[in-house]
Amino acid sequence: MALVTAAATMILVEECKCGSMKGGSAGARAGRSRDFETAQRAARRDGANGTADHRVRVAELPNGFRHVIAPPGTGGLPDVSRLHAERSSVTMTPLGMSAREIPVKNGKGKVVTETLLMAGSAIRPMRTAQQPDARSVVALLERFAAPVGCAAKVQILRPFAVISRKSYSAPITLPIGPAYLAATLEKAGYPVEIIDAIGENIYQIVRSQCGHYNLQGLCTDEIVARITPQTRVLGISIMFSQEWLEHRSLIRAIRRAFPDLIIVVGGEHPTALPEYVLRDCPEIDYLVAGEGELTFLELVHGLIHGREIRDVPGVCFIDEAGGFVTTGLSRRIMDIDNLPAPAWHRCNVENYFIDNWTMGIAMGRNMPIIATRGCPYQCTFCSNPTMWTTRYKMRDVSEVVNEIEFLINHYNANSIEFFDLTAIVKKEWILSFCKELKRRHVDIAWQLPSGTRSEALDRETLKAICDAGCRFLVYAPESGCEETLAAIKKKIKLDHLTSSIRAAISVGHTVKVNFILGFPHERFRQMIKTVAYALKLARLGVEDCNISAFSPYPGSELFRDLVADGSVPALNDAYFRSLVTQFDFTSSAAICKHVPAGLLVPLRIIGQMLFYALAYTLHPKRIVRLVKSTFKSRFQANNLFEQRLYDFIVRFRTVRPGNRAIRSSN
């Protein structure tokens, strides 16, 4: 990695006592404009030609101010709170933006405007498709194979679930990401194990120390006890940003118990905020940004052989000088059909079947699958453009059906859930998938619970997927207001969506719709349109609806914009806690500029209640069906509402005092 030339000669980077970056040079001290402009130019140039210095530089200015320069690709500014505390006259944003005018106080207390240059592609959604990995999976499995007789073990941890204490529900699923990682390492010959903290103790729910969350699964001590002395590398999957605070504490506890263990994290959250995560939790050694299988394999191989890992694409770390080193996002795997199938034999799959823990409608033995990776769209509230970029890869239809057959034969699976970001993009793909299921007489229910787009879902496709076993279909329009849809770049037409939903219901699908209220720009009347649209869909026969409150997830375009305009002032505990809105109706965290939380929260609750009131009273057969289901020896939910109700009862029984009472976490 090349270092910035001109700027580096003038601005020295050194580690200061507090661990934040401190820079100073004769040139920088001599005059603001020359140094600052030079550094700014250098940062821009190096960002453009891809040779960015991945260090954040802080230029000392003669008036006592500091300018923080984080060239594109660095992931923004770390540790600003400390810099801030050090020199309180300077106002700084918590994350990097390209160039921002900020009001600062000069030495005499007068407010002046300064330009603060910061940038970070890691928090800026990628507008292009990530580079493909030119290397083949098979070749890499060979090239990075474990040394003969390798004794160094790799464990992959999926931590406990972090659920708001006031949550009415929160789905629990099998860990498909870790299962993919384990399969790849196993195929390359490494001794590997998955610690699925949720699956290994699914009925244990403990209260977090801060009192805000319930933690489901193995608790910290139990996870630490599961790490073996032979383990050389511990990979930790961190998916949700809202779980970060508790998972950070867990990582700290693991580090205390195992000072020499190499800790690597990956997943959506670290990918969105790589530098922040590494600096916020120095107990982590390496971070993998983006798609994980091949990068993790190469990293593990390098670590076990004691090789230099600075050039492994997709790896980030803090170097000895305190600089943030990154090789960017991992390159996208092109031949995903050659990736080894998820290593379910390393998880306690059966535990998930006991009380039907899953994302969609539980049918007894639901198992997840992924048929596509990435999404070609760029909705502004979604982190996909940062994590997977716009590169969209579909697996070969016959490979997907092979995997389904395997799950039926080995796990007796009776329902397959697609965890794809947006499963149905290409009509030809889904039609040939249906054809293949029929040709092979694969008789299984399958579901699309994570939400899909409607473009490819015309009557012909809807009929085909229904005939081929699709039992639950989730559309994700997000809004019922065209203006909002345009603002969030959702790129759907409501009339087209409505006719697709109408057709879906008429061919026999159980349909759910997802909405979000409270986008930053939204006005009350626009939100009302969304609620009204939801109610219209209830009348049409849609069975389920989720109205969530907008949360600015790291990695999304809206998150970046809200940081830029100061609406997200700092990445602190309060921010991460504010993200827990999904299954907690009491959460009043709202970032909408025109509608206060006091109005948004009741609107969400009323919208949701009215939807279900209509969905049941206008379709009384559903009430009869629900009553019948409750009298069956094993409850069978007919839609997601009933499924979540069931989950709620199971959790309630689990945590009821006198039964398996909630304990405090350690």
List of residues contacting ligand B12 (CB under 6 A):
161, 170-171, 173, 175-177, 180-181, 235-237, 239-243, 264-269, 272, 288, 291-293, 296, 359, 370, 382-384, 419, 421, 450, 548, 553-555, 582
Which residue's CB is nearer to ligand SF4, number 165 or number 489?
489
Residue type, 101: E
Chain position carrying tokens 């490819």: 456
Cα separation, 317 vs 558, whole angstroms? 26
Closest separation in Å from C-beta 160 to ligand B12: 10
Question: Binds 146, which of ligand SF4, ligand B12, none (CB < 5 to 8 A, cut-off by type)?
Answer: none
Pairing type for strands 21-24 and 12-15 reads: antiparallel
Question: Binds 312, which of ligand B12, ligand SF4, none (CB < 5 to 8 A, cut-off by type)?
Answer: none
- 640 forms beta bridges with none
Closest separation in Å from C-beta 167 to ligand B12: 9
Question: Binds 401, which of ligand B12, ligand SF4, none (CB < 5 to 8 A, cut-off by type)?
Answer: none
DSSP-assigned letters across all residues of 208-234: -TTSSEEEESS-HHHHHHHS-TTEEEE
Question: Binds 377, which of ligand SF4, ligand B12, none (CB < 5 to 8 A, cut-off by type)?
Answer: ligand SF4
- Please check whether residue 287 is in contact with residue 262, taking contact to mean a CB–CB distance below 8 angstroms: no
CA 487 to chain centre: 22
Question: Binds 177, which of ligand B12, ligand SF4, none (CB < 5 to 8 A, cut-off by type)?
Answer: ligand B12
Question: Binds 93, which of ligand B12, ligand SF4, none (CB < 5 to 8 A, cut-off by type)?
Answer: none
The contacts of residue 213 (CB under 8 Å, 6+ apart) are 162, 163, 164, 165, 207, 246, 580
Which residue's CB is nearer to ligand B12, number 25 or number 372?
372
Check residue 421 for interaction with ligand SF4 (CB under 6 A): yes
Number of H helices, E strands in the chain: 25, 27
Closest separation in Å from C-beta 171 to ligand SF4: 18
Closest separation in Å from C-beta 229 to ligand B12: 20
Cα separation, 37 vs 32, whole angstroms? 8
b/e per residue, 78-97, with b = 16+ CB within 10 A?
A: bbbeebbeeeeebebbbbbb
Closest separation in Å from C-beta 397 to ligand SF4: 21
Question: Binds 288, which of ligand SF4, ligand B12, none (CB < 5 to 8 A, cut-off by type)?
Answer: ligand B12
DSSP-assigned letters across all residues of 154-179: EEEEE--EEEETT-S-------HHHH
Which residue's CB is nearer to ligand B12, number 318 or number 382?
382
- 172 forms beta bridges with none
Cα separation, 531 vs 424, whole angstroms? 25
Cα separation, 20 vs 33, whole angstroms? 23
Tokens standing for residue 111: 């407010």
Alpha helices in 356-426 (DSSP H): 384-387, 397-411
Q: Which one, of 201, 103, 188, lies nearest residue 141 by Cα?
A: 188
Question: Binds 422, which of ligand SF4, ligand B12, none (CB < 5 to 8 A, cut-off by type)?
Answer: ligand SF4
Length of the chain: 666
Question: Binds 419, which of ligand SF4, ligand B12, none (CB < 5 to 8 A, cut-off by type)?
Answer: ligand B12
Which residue's CB is nearer to ligand SF4, number 94 or number 449?
449
98: left (phi over 0), alpha (psi -120 to 50) or beta: alpha
Site string for ligand SF4, 447-486 (x = CB under 6 A): ------x---------------------------------
Q: Running DSSP on this structure, what letter comes out for residue 243?
A: G
Closest separation in Å from C-beta 156 to ligand B12: 6
Strands (E), 280-323: 286-288, 315-318
Check residue 422 for interaction with ligand SF4 (CB under 6 A): yes
Which residue's CB is nearer to ligand SF4, number 13 or number 421?
421
Which residue's CB is nearer to ligand SF4, number 214 or number 378?
378
Which residue's CB is nearer to ligand SF4, number 389 or number 643?
389
Check residue 433 for interaction with ligand SF4 (CB under 6 A): no
Residues 593-612 that bind ligand SF4 (CB under 6 A): none
Closest separation in Å from C-beta 389 to ligand SF4: 10
Which residue's CB is nearer to ligand SF4, number 263 or number 421?
421
Question: Binds 242, which of ligand SF4, ligand B12, none (CB < 5 to 8 A, cut-off by type)?
Answer: ligand B12
Q: Which one, of 206, 213, 203, 181, lies nearest residue 194 by Cα?
A: 181
Closest separation in Å from C-beta 557 to ligand SF4: 10
Residues 560-579 that bind ligand SF4 (CB under 6 A): none
Which residue's CB is nearer to ligand B12, number 268 or number 275?
268
Terminal Cα-to-Cα distance of the chain (whole angstroms): 42
Q: Which one, of 469, 411, 412, lies nearest residue 445 by Cα?
A: 469
Question: Binds 582, which of ligand B12, ligand SF4, none (CB < 5 to 8 A, cut-off by type)?
Answer: ligand B12
Q: What stretch of H or E contains 663? A: strand 663-664
Question: Binds 239, which of ligand B12, ligand SF4, none (CB < 5 to 8 A, cut-off by type)?
Answer: ligand B12
Q: Which one, of 522, 532, 521, 548, lies nearest residue 604 by Cα?
A: 548
Which residue's CB is nearer to ligand SF4, number 11 or number 421?
421
Closest separation in Å from C-beta 33 to ligand B12: 39
Which residue's CB is nearer to ligand B12, number 69 or number 492?
492
Which residue's CB is nearer to ligand B12, number 474 or number 542?
474
**C-alpha dist (Å) from residue 236 to 175, 194, 559, 612:** 12, 10, 24, 39
Question: Binds 19, which of ligand SF4, ligand B12, none (CB < 5 to 8 A, cut-off by type)?
Answer: none
Closest separation in Å from C-beta 534 to ligand B12: 16
Q: Is the dihedral of CA 272, 400, 423, 614 positive or negative?
A: negative
Site string for ligand SF4, 360-389 (x = CB under 6 A): ---------------x-xxx--x-x-----
Closest separation in Å from C-beta 548 to ligand B12: 6
Closest separation in Å from C-beta 8 to ligand B12: 31
User: Which residues are at the interface with ligand SF4 (CB under 6 A)?
Assistant: 375, 377-379, 382, 384, 421-422, 453
